[in-house]
A and B are shown apart, each in its own frame.
Chain A
Amino acid sequence: MAELAQPPPRFREIARGKLGDARVQVALDEATDRLRTNRERAWAELPDIQELRQRAHEIRMAVIDDLDVHVARFTAALESRGGRVFLAQTAEEASAYVADVCRRRGAKLAAKSKSMVSEEIGLNAALEAVGVKPVETDLGEYILQLAGEHPVHIVAPAIEKTAGQVAELLSAAGGKRVPPELEALTNAARTQLRETFLKAEVGITGANFAVSETGSICLVTNEGNARLVSSLPPVHVAIMGMERLVPTVADLSVLLRLLARSGTGQRLTVYTTLLTGPRRLGERDGPEEQHVVILDNGRTNLLRGRYREMLACIRCGACLNVCPVYRKTGGAAYSDVYSGPMGAVLLPLLVGLQEAPSLPHASSLCGACTDACPVKIPLHELLLDLRRDLVAEGVAPWWERAGFWLWSWAWSRPAGYRLTTRLARLGQPLAGLLGPGRAWARGRALPRFGRRYRDRR
Protein backbone atom coordinates (compact mmCIF):
# COMPACT_ATOMS: atom_id res chain seq x y z
CA MET A 1 0.00 0.00 0.00
CA ALA A 2 1.36 3.37 -0.99
CA GLU A 3 2.17 5.66 1.89
CA LEU A 4 1.71 9.40 1.55
CA ALA A 5 2.41 10.44 5.12
CA GLN A 6 6.05 11.19 5.90
CA PRO A 7 7.20 10.57 9.45
CA PRO A 8 10.21 12.87 10.05
CA PRO A 9 12.95 10.21 10.07
CA ARG A 10 11.91 8.80 6.66
CA PHE A 11 13.57 11.45 4.53
CA ARG A 12 16.83 11.40 6.48
CA GLU A 13 17.13 7.63 6.67
CA ILE A 14 16.32 6.86 3.05
CA ALA A 15 18.34 9.79 1.73
CA ARG A 16 21.38 8.69 3.75
CA GLY A 17 21.13 5.19 2.28
CA LYS A 18 20.90 6.52 -1.28
CA LEU A 19 23.79 8.95 -0.74
CA GLY A 20 25.99 6.05 0.33
CA ASP A 21 25.06 3.93 -2.69
CA ALA A 22 27.53 4.76 -5.47
CA ARG A 23 25.54 2.87 -8.12
CA VAL A 24 22.32 4.74 -7.34
CA GLN A 25 24.22 8.04 -7.45
CA VAL A 26 25.50 7.27 -10.96
CA ALA A 27 22.03 6.18 -12.11
CA LEU A 28 20.44 9.35 -10.73
CA ASP A 29 23.10 11.60 -12.25
CA GLU A 30 22.82 10.02 -15.67
CA ALA A 31 19.04 9.91 -15.81
CA THR A 32 18.41 13.41 -14.50
CA ASP A 33 21.18 14.90 -16.68
CA ARG A 34 19.77 13.27 -19.79
CA LEU A 35 16.18 14.29 -19.09
CA ARG A 36 17.23 17.82 -18.22
CA THR A 37 19.37 18.26 -21.34
CA ASN A 38 16.58 16.84 -23.49
CA ARG A 39 14.10 19.32 -22.05
CA GLU A 40 16.43 22.26 -22.54
CA ARG A 41 16.99 21.28 -26.18
CA ALA A 42 13.26 20.86 -26.78
CA TRP A 43 12.43 24.20 -25.14
CA ALA A 44 15.13 25.96 -27.17
CA GLU A 45 13.40 24.71 -30.33
CA LEU A 46 10.31 26.80 -29.53
CA PRO A 47 10.81 30.50 -30.24
CA ASP A 48 7.76 31.37 -28.13
CA ILE A 49 8.53 29.15 -25.15
CA GLN A 50 8.16 31.86 -22.49
CA GLU A 51 4.88 33.02 -23.98
CA LEU A 52 3.69 29.43 -24.17
CA ARG A 53 4.54 28.84 -20.49
CA GLN A 54 2.58 31.95 -19.57
CA ARG A 55 -0.43 30.83 -21.61
CA ALA A 56 -0.27 27.38 -20.05
CA HIS A 57 -0.18 28.94 -16.59
CA GLU A 58 -3.24 31.05 -17.39
CA ILE A 59 -5.16 28.10 -18.81
CA ARG A 60 -4.46 26.00 -15.72
CA MET A 61 -5.35 28.81 -13.29
CA ALA A 62 -8.61 29.59 -15.15
CA VAL A 63 -9.70 26.00 -14.58
CA ILE A 64 -8.72 26.10 -10.93
CA ASP A 65 -10.73 29.31 -10.46
CA ASP A 66 -13.89 27.59 -11.70
CA LEU A 67 -13.17 23.98 -11.01
CA ASP A 68 -16.73 23.05 -10.02
CA VAL A 69 -18.05 24.47 -13.29
CA HIS A 70 -15.52 22.48 -15.28
CA VAL A 71 -16.23 19.26 -13.40
CA ALA A 72 -19.96 19.69 -14.12
CA ARG A 73 -19.36 20.51 -17.78
CA PHE A 74 -17.04 17.54 -18.23
CA THR A 75 -19.55 15.23 -16.54
CA ALA A 76 -22.42 16.38 -18.76
CA ALA A 77 -20.34 16.09 -21.93
CA LEU A 78 -19.04 12.60 -21.14
CA GLU A 79 -22.46 11.33 -20.04
CA SER A 80 -23.95 12.53 -23.32
CA ARG A 81 -21.39 10.25 -25.00
CA GLY A 82 -22.39 7.29 -22.87
CA GLY A 83 -19.54 7.44 -20.34
CA ARG A 84 -20.03 7.43 -16.56
CA VAL A 85 -18.45 9.84 -14.10
CA PHE A 86 -17.90 9.25 -10.40
CA LEU A 87 -16.76 12.03 -8.10
CA ALA A 88 -14.72 10.57 -5.24
CA GLN A 89 -14.12 12.68 -2.14
CA THR A 90 -11.53 10.33 -0.67
CA ALA A 91 -9.00 7.71 -1.73
CA GLU A 92 -11.21 5.03 -0.16
CA GLU A 93 -14.28 6.11 -2.14
CA ALA A 94 -12.31 6.06 -5.39
CA SER A 95 -10.81 2.62 -4.74
CA ALA A 96 -14.17 1.23 -3.62
CA TYR A 97 -15.83 2.46 -6.84
CA VAL A 98 -13.21 0.79 -9.05
CA ALA A 99 -13.41 -2.41 -6.99
CA ASP A 100 -17.18 -2.34 -7.42
CA VAL A 101 -16.93 -1.97 -11.20
CA CYS A 102 -14.63 -5.02 -11.22
CA ARG A 103 -17.01 -6.99 -9.00
CA ARG A 104 -20.03 -6.21 -11.19
CA ARG A 105 -18.18 -7.48 -14.25
CA GLY A 106 -16.89 -10.54 -12.39
CA ALA A 107 -13.35 -9.40 -13.18
CA LYS A 108 -10.36 -11.37 -11.91
CA LEU A 109 -7.65 -9.53 -13.84
CA ALA A 110 -7.22 -5.79 -14.31
CA ALA A 111 -4.62 -4.40 -16.73
CA LYS A 112 -3.25 -1.07 -15.56
CA SER A 113 -1.29 1.59 -17.32
CA LYS A 114 0.83 4.06 -15.40
CA SER A 115 -1.23 6.25 -13.09
CA MET A 116 0.22 8.32 -10.26
CA VAL A 117 -3.27 8.87 -8.86
CA SER A 118 -3.83 5.11 -8.57
CA GLU A 119 -0.62 5.00 -6.53
CA GLU A 120 -1.89 7.92 -4.46
CA ILE A 121 -5.10 6.08 -3.53
CA GLY A 122 -3.42 2.70 -3.02
CA LEU A 123 -5.66 1.12 -5.66
CA ASN A 124 -3.68 -2.09 -6.16
CA ALA A 125 -4.08 -3.14 -2.53
CA ALA A 126 -7.80 -2.34 -2.64
CA LEU A 127 -8.26 -4.49 -5.76
CA GLU A 128 -6.25 -7.39 -4.34
CA ALA A 129 -8.45 -7.28 -1.23
CA VAL A 130 -11.50 -8.11 -3.37
CA GLY A 131 -9.78 -10.82 -5.40
CA VAL A 132 -8.84 -8.80 -8.48
CA LYS A 133 -5.26 -9.10 -9.69
CA PRO A 134 -3.96 -5.71 -10.91
CA VAL A 135 -1.07 -5.94 -13.38
CA GLU A 136 1.00 -2.86 -14.18
CA THR A 137 1.79 -2.74 -17.90
CA ASP A 138 4.11 0.25 -18.19
CA LEU A 139 7.53 -1.42 -18.45
CA GLY A 140 9.03 0.52 -15.53
CA GLU A 141 5.96 0.04 -13.35
CA TYR A 142 5.79 -3.69 -14.20
CA ILE A 143 9.41 -4.08 -13.07
CA LEU A 144 8.64 -2.26 -9.83
CA GLN A 145 5.49 -4.30 -9.23
CA LEU A 146 7.52 -7.52 -9.62
CA ALA A 147 10.08 -6.11 -7.16
CA GLY A 148 7.37 -5.00 -4.72
CA GLU A 149 8.59 -1.40 -4.92
CA HIS A 150 7.16 2.01 -5.78
CA PRO A 151 8.04 4.55 -8.51
CA VAL A 152 10.97 6.87 -7.76
CA HIS A 153 10.46 9.30 -10.65
CA ILE A 154 7.23 10.51 -12.30
CA VAL A 155 8.27 9.81 -15.89
CA ALA A 156 11.09 7.31 -15.34
CA PRO A 157 9.75 5.19 -12.47
CA ALA A 158 12.51 2.56 -12.34
CA ILE A 159 15.66 4.64 -12.94
CA GLU A 160 17.44 3.04 -10.00
CA LYS A 161 17.14 -0.52 -11.38
CA THR A 162 19.95 -2.11 -13.42
CA ALA A 163 19.50 -4.40 -16.43
CA GLY A 164 20.80 -7.24 -14.25
CA GLN A 165 18.12 -6.67 -11.61
CA VAL A 166 15.45 -6.40 -14.30
CA ALA A 167 16.63 -9.69 -15.84
CA GLU A 168 16.26 -11.48 -12.51
CA LEU A 169 12.75 -10.12 -11.98
CA LEU A 170 11.56 -10.97 -15.51
CA SER A 171 13.17 -14.43 -15.37
CA ALA A 172 11.33 -15.21 -12.14
CA ALA A 173 8.02 -13.83 -13.49
CA GLY A 174 8.17 -15.75 -16.77
CA GLY A 175 9.73 -18.92 -15.38
CA LYS A 176 12.39 -18.67 -18.08
CA ARG A 177 15.91 -17.29 -17.95
CA VAL A 178 16.17 -13.86 -19.62
CA PRO A 179 19.66 -12.45 -20.35
CA PRO A 180 20.32 -8.89 -19.07
CA GLU A 181 20.26 -7.36 -22.56
CA LEU A 182 17.91 -4.60 -23.53
CA GLU A 183 16.27 -6.31 -26.48
CA ALA A 184 15.79 -9.62 -24.68
CA LEU A 185 14.34 -7.85 -21.65
CA THR A 186 11.94 -5.80 -23.74
CA ASN A 187 10.78 -8.86 -25.67
CA ALA A 188 10.27 -10.85 -22.47
CA ALA A 189 8.14 -8.08 -20.97
CA ARG A 190 6.20 -7.75 -24.24
CA THR A 191 5.40 -11.46 -24.25
CA GLN A 192 4.54 -11.63 -20.56
CA LEU A 193 2.22 -8.63 -20.70
CA ARG A 194 0.52 -9.36 -24.04
CA GLU A 195 -1.58 -12.04 -22.34
CA THR A 196 -2.65 -9.54 -19.69
CA PHE A 197 -3.90 -7.10 -22.31
CA LEU A 198 -5.90 -9.82 -24.04
CA LYS A 199 -7.33 -11.47 -20.92
CA ALA A 200 -8.06 -8.54 -18.60
CA GLU A 201 -11.76 -7.87 -18.06
CA VAL A 202 -11.05 -4.32 -16.90
CA GLY A 203 -8.47 -1.80 -18.09
CA ILE A 204 -7.40 0.96 -15.69
CA THR A 205 -5.57 4.11 -16.73
CA GLY A 206 -4.87 7.54 -15.35
CA ALA A 207 -5.48 10.69 -17.38
CA ASN A 208 -2.91 13.30 -18.26
CA PHE A 209 -5.65 15.78 -19.07
CA ALA A 210 -9.41 15.87 -19.50
CA VAL A 211 -11.28 18.34 -21.70
CA SER A 212 -14.39 19.76 -20.04
CA GLU A 213 -16.06 20.97 -23.23
CA THR A 214 -15.93 17.61 -25.01
CA GLY A 215 -15.86 15.08 -22.14
CA SER A 216 -12.61 13.60 -23.45
CA ILE A 217 -9.68 12.24 -21.52
CA CYS A 218 -6.17 12.51 -22.88
CA LEU A 219 -3.51 9.83 -22.34
CA VAL A 220 0.13 10.35 -23.14
CA THR A 221 2.50 7.36 -23.38
CA ASN A 222 5.46 6.04 -25.37
CA GLU A 223 5.00 2.30 -25.06
CA GLY A 224 1.42 2.02 -26.23
CA ASN A 225 0.22 0.28 -23.08
CA ALA A 226 -2.35 2.97 -22.25
CA ARG A 227 -3.87 2.56 -25.73
CA LEU A 228 -4.02 -1.21 -25.30
CA VAL A 229 -5.47 -0.99 -21.80
CA SER A 230 -8.15 1.47 -22.91
CA SER A 231 -8.97 -0.36 -26.18
CA LEU A 232 -9.02 -4.13 -25.59
CA PRO A 233 -10.74 -4.91 -22.25
CA PRO A 234 -14.57 -4.59 -22.25
CA VAL A 235 -14.43 -2.01 -19.45
CA HIS A 236 -12.17 1.02 -19.20
CA VAL A 237 -11.81 2.96 -15.96
CA ALA A 238 -9.77 6.18 -15.95
CA ILE A 239 -8.82 7.76 -12.63
CA MET A 240 -7.75 11.37 -12.43
CA GLY A 241 -7.17 14.16 -9.97
CA MET A 242 -9.95 16.74 -10.35
CA GLU A 243 -7.42 19.40 -11.41
CA ARG A 244 -6.49 17.56 -14.64
CA LEU A 245 -9.26 19.40 -16.53
CA VAL A 246 -8.65 21.92 -19.30
CA PRO A 247 -11.49 23.95 -20.90
CA THR A 248 -11.16 23.17 -24.62
CA VAL A 249 -9.18 21.12 -27.14
CA ALA A 250 -7.39 24.36 -28.16
CA ASP A 251 -6.17 24.70 -24.56
CA LEU A 252 -5.16 21.05 -24.59
CA SER A 253 -2.99 21.79 -27.62
CA VAL A 254 -0.99 24.37 -25.64
CA LEU A 255 -0.40 21.94 -22.78
CA LEU A 256 0.49 19.04 -25.06
CA ARG A 257 3.12 21.17 -26.74
CA LEU A 258 4.73 21.58 -23.31
CA LEU A 259 4.17 18.23 -21.60
CA ALA A 260 6.34 15.87 -23.66
CA ARG A 261 9.00 18.50 -24.30
CA SER A 262 9.30 19.11 -20.56
CA GLY A 263 9.08 15.47 -19.51
CA THR A 264 11.33 13.64 -21.96
CA GLY A 265 12.32 16.28 -24.53
CA GLN A 266 10.13 14.76 -27.26
CA ARG A 267 7.91 17.06 -29.33
CA LEU A 268 5.09 14.63 -28.69
CA THR A 269 5.20 11.23 -27.04
CA VAL A 270 4.66 8.28 -29.37
CA TYR A 271 0.99 7.94 -28.43
CA THR A 272 -1.19 10.89 -27.54
CA THR A 273 -4.76 9.60 -27.33
CA LEU A 274 -8.03 11.44 -26.86
CA LEU A 275 -10.85 9.18 -25.67
CA THR A 276 -14.43 10.42 -25.79
CA GLY A 277 -16.83 7.88 -24.35
CA PRO A 278 -17.04 4.12 -24.95
CA ARG A 279 -17.13 2.27 -28.31
CA ARG A 280 -19.77 3.62 -30.68
CA LEU A 281 -22.30 1.87 -32.91
CA GLY A 282 -20.65 -0.22 -35.61
CA GLU A 283 -17.17 -0.12 -34.06
CA ARG A 284 -15.41 -3.46 -33.80
CA ASP A 285 -13.29 -2.77 -30.73
CA GLY A 286 -12.99 -0.37 -27.83
CA PRO A 287 -14.56 -0.68 -24.37
CA GLU A 288 -18.31 -1.28 -23.95
CA GLU A 289 -18.25 0.68 -20.70
CA GLN A 290 -16.19 3.71 -19.83
CA HIS A 291 -15.92 5.15 -16.32
CA VAL A 292 -14.02 8.24 -15.24
CA VAL A 293 -13.27 8.61 -11.52
CA ILE A 294 -12.58 12.22 -10.57
CA LEU A 295 -10.63 12.35 -7.32
CA ASP A 296 -10.66 15.12 -4.74
CA ASN A 297 -8.64 13.60 -1.87
CA GLY A 298 -7.73 16.95 -0.32
CA ARG A 299 -7.49 18.99 -3.52
CA THR A 300 -10.47 21.27 -2.85
CA ASN A 301 -8.72 22.43 0.34
CA LEU A 302 -6.09 24.02 -1.90
CA LEU A 303 -8.49 25.82 -4.22
CA ARG A 304 -8.77 29.13 -2.44
CA GLY A 305 -5.55 29.45 -0.48
CA ARG A 306 -2.10 30.63 -1.50
CA TYR A 307 -1.07 27.14 -2.55
CA ARG A 308 -3.66 26.96 -5.34
CA GLU A 309 -0.99 27.27 -8.02
CA MET A 310 0.25 23.80 -7.08
CA LEU A 311 -2.92 22.43 -8.70
CA ALA A 312 -1.60 23.68 -12.06
CA CYS A 313 1.08 20.93 -12.04
CA ILE A 314 1.03 18.73 -15.16
CA ARG A 315 3.29 16.00 -13.69
CA CYS A 316 6.08 16.29 -16.26
CA GLY A 317 8.91 15.68 -13.80
CA ALA A 318 11.05 18.59 -15.05
CA CYS A 319 11.48 19.96 -11.51
CA LEU A 320 12.87 16.64 -10.28
CA ASN A 321 15.65 16.58 -12.87
CA VAL A 322 17.04 19.99 -11.90
CA CYS A 323 16.65 19.74 -8.12
CA PRO A 324 20.01 19.46 -6.29
CA VAL A 325 18.23 17.58 -3.48
CA TYR A 326 16.28 15.09 -5.63
CA ARG A 327 19.35 14.44 -7.78
CA LYS A 328 21.15 13.11 -4.70
CA THR A 329 18.37 11.48 -2.66
CA GLY A 330 16.18 10.02 -5.41
CA GLY A 331 12.43 9.75 -5.10
CA ALA A 332 11.91 7.17 -2.37
CA ALA A 333 12.89 9.56 0.43
CA TYR A 334 9.93 11.80 -0.38
CA SER A 335 7.12 9.26 -0.67
CA ASP A 336 5.92 6.19 -2.55
CA VAL A 337 4.16 8.40 -5.08
CA TYR A 338 5.26 12.00 -5.63
CA SER A 339 8.79 13.30 -5.19
CA GLY A 340 11.16 16.14 -5.97
CA PRO A 341 10.07 19.76 -5.59
CA MET A 342 6.50 19.10 -6.79
CA GLY A 343 6.18 16.27 -4.27
CA ALA A 344 7.72 18.34 -1.49
CA VAL A 345 5.01 20.98 -2.04
CA LEU A 346 2.07 18.73 -2.84
CA LEU A 347 2.41 16.03 -0.18
CA PRO A 348 2.24 18.30 2.90
CA LEU A 349 -0.77 20.00 1.31
CA LEU A 350 -2.58 16.71 0.73
CA VAL A 351 -1.81 15.02 4.05
CA GLY A 352 -1.16 18.02 6.35
CA LEU A 353 2.13 19.54 7.51
CA GLN A 354 2.03 17.49 10.71
CA GLU A 355 2.28 14.33 8.60
CA ALA A 356 5.13 15.52 6.36
CA PRO A 357 7.18 18.07 8.31
CA SER A 358 10.55 17.28 6.71
CA LEU A 359 9.49 17.83 3.09
CA PRO A 360 9.41 21.66 3.00
CA HIS A 361 13.06 21.45 4.06
CA ALA A 362 14.03 19.13 1.21
CA SER A 363 15.12 22.08 -0.89
CA SER A 364 18.01 24.50 -1.14
CA LEU A 365 15.53 27.17 -2.37
CA CYS A 366 17.78 27.71 -5.38
CA GLY A 367 14.76 28.16 -7.63
CA ALA A 368 15.90 25.78 -10.39
CA CYS A 369 12.53 23.99 -10.09
CA THR A 370 10.60 27.21 -10.67
CA ASP A 371 12.68 27.97 -13.78
CA ALA A 372 12.11 24.46 -15.14
CA CYS A 373 8.35 24.39 -14.53
CA PRO A 374 6.47 24.56 -17.86
CA VAL A 375 3.37 25.97 -16.18
CA LYS A 376 5.30 28.47 -14.06
CA ILE A 377 4.47 27.24 -10.57
CA PRO A 378 6.66 29.21 -8.12
CA LEU A 379 7.73 25.97 -6.44
CA HIS A 380 10.58 27.30 -4.31
CA GLU A 381 8.43 30.17 -3.05
CA LEU A 382 5.70 27.71 -2.06
CA LEU A 383 8.30 25.64 -0.19
CA LEU A 384 9.36 28.74 1.71
CA ASP A 385 5.72 29.51 2.53
CA LEU A 386 5.30 25.97 3.82
CA ARG A 387 8.30 26.47 6.12
CA ARG A 388 6.61 29.62 7.42
CA ASP A 389 3.49 27.56 8.09
CA LEU A 390 5.55 24.96 9.94
CA VAL A 391 6.49 27.73 12.40
CA ALA A 392 3.07 29.41 12.49
CA GLU A 393 1.27 26.13 13.14
CA GLY A 394 3.77 25.17 15.81
CA VAL A 395 4.95 22.10 13.91
CA ALA A 396 8.55 23.31 13.97
CA PRO A 397 10.33 22.42 17.24
CA TRP A 398 10.83 25.14 19.92
CA TRP A 399 14.61 25.26 19.51
CA GLU A 400 14.28 25.98 15.79
CA ARG A 401 11.96 28.89 16.45
CA ALA A 402 14.19 30.16 19.31
CA GLY A 403 17.29 29.88 17.16
CA PHE A 404 15.80 31.90 14.32
CA TRP A 405 14.45 34.52 16.74
CA LEU A 406 17.93 34.92 18.20
CA TRP A 407 19.55 35.07 14.75
CA SER A 408 17.10 37.67 13.52
CA TRP A 409 17.66 39.74 16.71
CA ALA A 410 21.46 39.62 16.34
CA TRP A 411 21.64 40.34 12.63
CA SER A 412 19.37 43.38 12.80
CA ARG A 413 22.09 45.30 14.73
CA PRO A 414 25.78 45.85 13.74
CA ALA A 415 27.14 44.79 17.12
CA GLY A 416 25.15 41.59 17.04
CA TYR A 417 26.32 40.83 13.51
CA ARG A 418 29.98 41.41 14.49
CA LEU A 419 29.53 39.18 17.52
CA THR A 420 28.23 36.30 15.38
CA THR A 421 31.13 36.50 12.91
CA ARG A 422 33.61 36.51 15.79
CA LEU A 423 31.88 33.52 17.39
CA ALA A 424 31.77 31.78 14.03
CA ARG A 425 35.52 32.13 13.58
CA LEU A 426 36.25 30.98 17.12
CA GLY A 427 33.80 28.08 16.92
CA GLN A 428 34.86 26.96 13.48
CA PRO A 429 37.04 24.02 14.60
CA LEU A 430 34.07 22.65 16.56
CA ALA A 431 31.36 23.26 13.96
CA GLY A 432 31.61 19.88 12.29
CA LEU A 433 31.56 18.01 15.59
CA LEU A 434 28.26 18.95 17.15
CA GLY A 435 24.66 19.82 16.53
CA PRO A 436 23.39 20.69 13.08
CA GLY A 437 26.98 21.28 11.88
CA ARG A 438 27.71 17.62 12.49
CA ALA A 439 24.73 16.44 10.51
CA TRP A 440 25.69 18.83 7.71
CA ALA A 441 29.34 17.73 7.69
CA ARG A 442 28.33 14.10 7.21
CA GLY A 443 29.03 13.50 3.54
CA ARG A 444 30.52 16.91 2.77
CA ALA A 445 33.22 19.30 3.99
CA LEU A 446 32.30 22.44 5.93
CA PRO A 447 33.35 25.67 4.25
CA ARG A 448 36.23 27.55 5.94
CA PHE A 449 36.15 31.22 6.68
CA GLY A 450 38.91 33.21 4.99
CA ARG A 451 41.48 35.04 7.12
CA ARG A 452 40.36 38.36 5.78
CA TYR A 453 36.70 37.70 6.53
CA ARG A 454 36.57 40.61 9.01
CA ASP A 455 37.97 43.04 6.45
CA ARG A 456 35.15 42.24 4.07
CA ARG A 457 32.58 43.30 6.62
Chain B
Amino acid sequence: MRLVEDFVANAEAVGCHVHRGAAPQIEGAGVSTALYGLADTGSVVLAAGPEEPRANSLLPEVHVTLLREDRILPGLDELFAAVGNDLPSALAIVTGPSRSADIEQKLAVGVHGPREVHVVLLADG
Protein backbone atom coordinates (compact mmCIF):
# COMPACT_ATOMS: atom_id res chain seq x y z
CA MET B 1 0.00 0.00 0.00
CA ARG B 2 3.07 2.16 0.42
CA LEU B 3 3.19 2.75 -3.35
CA VAL B 4 -0.40 3.95 -3.45
CA GLU B 5 0.12 6.37 -0.57
CA ASP B 6 3.30 7.75 -2.12
CA PHE B 7 1.57 8.09 -5.45
CA VAL B 8 -1.30 10.05 -3.93
CA ALA B 9 1.00 12.38 -1.98
CA ASN B 10 3.25 13.08 -4.96
CA ALA B 11 0.42 13.44 -7.48
CA GLU B 12 -1.26 15.98 -5.21
CA ALA B 13 2.06 17.78 -4.72
CA VAL B 14 2.33 18.38 -8.49
CA GLY B 15 -1.25 19.67 -8.67
CA CYS B 16 -3.39 16.61 -9.56
CA HIS B 17 -6.76 15.89 -7.96
CA VAL B 18 -6.85 12.30 -6.74
CA HIS B 19 -10.17 10.45 -6.32
CA ARG B 20 -10.87 6.95 -5.07
CA GLY B 21 -13.42 4.73 -6.78
CA ALA B 22 -15.84 7.10 -8.47
CA ALA B 23 -14.93 9.29 -11.42
CA PRO B 24 -15.98 12.94 -11.11
CA GLN B 25 -18.59 13.98 -13.68
CA ILE B 26 -17.09 16.99 -15.42
CA GLU B 27 -18.60 18.20 -18.66
CA GLY B 28 -16.24 18.27 -21.61
CA ALA B 29 -13.50 16.39 -19.78
CA GLY B 30 -11.21 14.08 -21.74
CA VAL B 31 -11.09 10.60 -20.24
CA SER B 32 -8.17 8.20 -20.51
CA THR B 33 -7.08 4.95 -18.94
CA ALA B 34 -3.55 5.05 -17.58
CA LEU B 35 -1.20 2.19 -18.38
CA TYR B 36 0.80 2.77 -15.19
CA GLY B 37 1.27 5.21 -12.35
CA LEU B 38 4.65 6.22 -10.91
CA ALA B 39 4.76 6.58 -7.14
CA ASP B 40 7.89 8.68 -6.65
CA THR B 41 6.87 11.40 -9.12
CA GLY B 42 3.06 11.17 -8.95
CA SER B 43 2.92 10.61 -12.71
CA VAL B 44 0.41 8.76 -14.86
CA VAL B 45 1.69 6.91 -17.93
CA LEU B 46 -0.49 7.00 -21.05
CA ALA B 47 0.05 4.76 -24.06
CA ALA B 48 -1.50 5.79 -27.39
CA GLY B 49 -3.61 3.09 -29.02
CA PRO B 50 -6.86 2.51 -30.92
CA GLU B 51 -8.86 3.04 -27.70
CA GLU B 52 -6.59 5.72 -26.31
CA PRO B 53 -6.34 8.73 -28.65
CA ARG B 54 -3.66 11.26 -27.76
CA ALA B 55 -6.08 14.18 -27.93
CA ASN B 56 -8.12 13.04 -24.89
CA SER B 57 -5.38 14.03 -22.51
CA LEU B 58 -4.32 17.10 -24.51
CA LEU B 59 -7.12 19.25 -25.93
CA PRO B 60 -9.84 19.44 -23.23
CA GLU B 61 -9.46 21.82 -20.30
CA VAL B 62 -9.92 18.92 -17.90
CA HIS B 63 -8.30 15.50 -18.14
CA VAL B 64 -9.66 12.58 -16.12
CA THR B 65 -7.52 9.45 -16.06
CA LEU B 66 -8.39 6.08 -14.59
CA LEU B 67 -5.58 4.23 -12.83
CA ARG B 68 -5.71 0.78 -11.27
CA GLU B 69 -3.91 0.70 -7.94
CA ASP B 70 -2.01 -2.45 -8.89
CA ARG B 71 -0.56 -0.61 -11.89
CA ILE B 72 1.39 1.79 -9.68
CA LEU B 73 5.14 1.26 -10.00
CA PRO B 74 7.87 2.82 -7.86
CA GLY B 75 9.42 4.99 -10.60
CA LEU B 76 10.97 5.43 -14.03
CA ASP B 77 13.39 2.50 -13.79
CA GLU B 78 10.54 0.08 -13.10
CA LEU B 79 8.44 1.65 -15.85
CA PHE B 80 11.10 1.15 -18.49
CA ALA B 81 11.77 -2.37 -17.22
CA ALA B 82 8.03 -3.10 -17.52
CA VAL B 83 7.51 -1.71 -21.03
CA GLY B 84 10.86 -3.00 -22.29
CA ASN B 85 11.33 -2.48 -26.01
CA ASP B 86 7.66 -2.93 -26.80
CA LEU B 87 6.87 0.75 -26.95
CA PRO B 88 3.60 2.24 -28.22
CA SER B 89 3.70 4.93 -30.93
CA ALA B 90 3.41 7.50 -28.13
CA LEU B 91 4.10 6.94 -24.44
CA ALA B 92 3.35 10.02 -22.37
CA ILE B 93 4.44 10.33 -18.75
CA VAL B 94 2.16 13.05 -17.39
CA THR B 95 3.10 14.73 -14.11
CA GLY B 96 0.45 17.27 -13.16
CA PRO B 97 -1.45 19.88 -15.20
CA SER B 98 0.16 21.84 -18.06
CA ARG B 99 2.30 24.68 -16.69
CA SER B 100 4.79 27.36 -17.63
CA ALA B 101 7.07 29.79 -15.87
CA ASP B 102 8.04 31.66 -19.03
CA ILE B 103 6.54 35.01 -18.00
CA GLU B 104 8.64 36.59 -15.24
CA GLN B 105 9.36 33.13 -13.84
CA LYS B 106 5.87 32.97 -12.31
CA LEU B 107 3.94 29.72 -12.37
CA ALA B 108 0.99 29.67 -14.76
CA VAL B 109 -1.21 26.58 -15.05
CA GLY B 110 -3.01 25.38 -18.19
CA VAL B 111 -0.89 26.88 -20.92
CA HIS B 112 -1.57 24.51 -23.82
CA GLY B 113 -2.59 21.25 -22.21
CA PRO B 114 -5.31 20.61 -19.57
CA ARG B 115 -5.64 22.99 -16.63
CA GLU B 116 -6.89 20.21 -14.38
CA VAL B 117 -5.81 16.61 -14.10
CA HIS B 118 -8.00 14.21 -12.10
CA VAL B 119 -6.64 10.78 -11.28
CA VAL B 120 -9.26 8.20 -10.34
CA LEU B 121 -7.78 5.28 -8.41
CA LEU B 122 -9.52 1.97 -8.98
CA ALA B 123 -9.14 -0.84 -6.47
CA ASP B 124 -7.29 -3.95 -7.66
CA GLY B 125 -8.97 -6.44 -9.99
Binding site for B on A (CB under 8 A): 27, 30-31, 34, 81, 137-140, 143, 156-159, 161-163, 166, 182-183, 185-186, 189-190, 193-194, 197, 213-214, 216, 222-225, 227-228, 230-232, 249-250, 252-253, 256-257, 264, 266-286
Q: Considering residues A162, A190, A270, which has the most beta carbons from chain B within 10 angstroms of its beta carbon?
A: A270
Across the interface, A286 reaches (CB within 8 A) one of B90, B100, B113, namely B90
Binding site for A on B (CB under 8 A): 10, 14, 40-41, 43, 48-50, 53-55, 58-59, 76-77, 79-81, 83-85, 87-106, 108, 110-114
Residues in chain A near residue B43, CB distance under 8 A:
268, 272
Cα of A222 to Cα of B113 in the assembled complex, Å: 9
Residues in chain B near residue A161, CB distance under 8 A:
103-104
Q: How far is the CB of B10 from chain A (nearest CB, A)?
A: 8
Instruction: Please state if B105 and A283 are interface contacts (CB–CB under 8 Å).
Output: no
Residues in chain B near residue A267, CB distance under 8 A:
10, 40-41, 95
Cα of A162 to Cα of B104 in the assembled complex, Å: 6
A-B pairs with CB below 8 Å: how many? 174
**Could you give 25 example pairs across A and B, Cβ below 8 Å?**
A31-B105, A139-B100, A139-B111, A163-B104, A186-B103, A186-B108, A190-B111, A224-B111, A224-B112, A224-B113, A228-B58, A228-B59, A228-B113, A249-B80, A250-B80, A250-B81, A266-B95, A267-B10, A268-B76, A270-B97, A270-B99, A275-B90, A276-B89, A284-B55, A285-B55
Instruction: Please state if B87 and A274 are interface contacts (CB–CB under 8 Å).
Output: yes
Q: How far is the CB of B73 from chain A (nearest CB, A)?
A: 12
Instruction: Please state if B54 and A231 are interface contacts (CB–CB under 8 Å).
Output: yes
Across the interface, A256 reaches (CB within 8 A) one of B49, B76, B114, namely B76
Instruction: Please state if B100 and A223 are interface contacts (CB–CB under 8 Å).
Output: yes
Residues in chain B near residue A158, CB distance under 8 A:
102-103
Q: Considering residues A182, A186, A250, A285, which has the most beta carbons from chain B within 10 angstroms of its beta carbon?
A: A186
Q: A143-B102, A270-B99 are in contact. Are A275 and B89 (CB under 8 A)?
A: yes
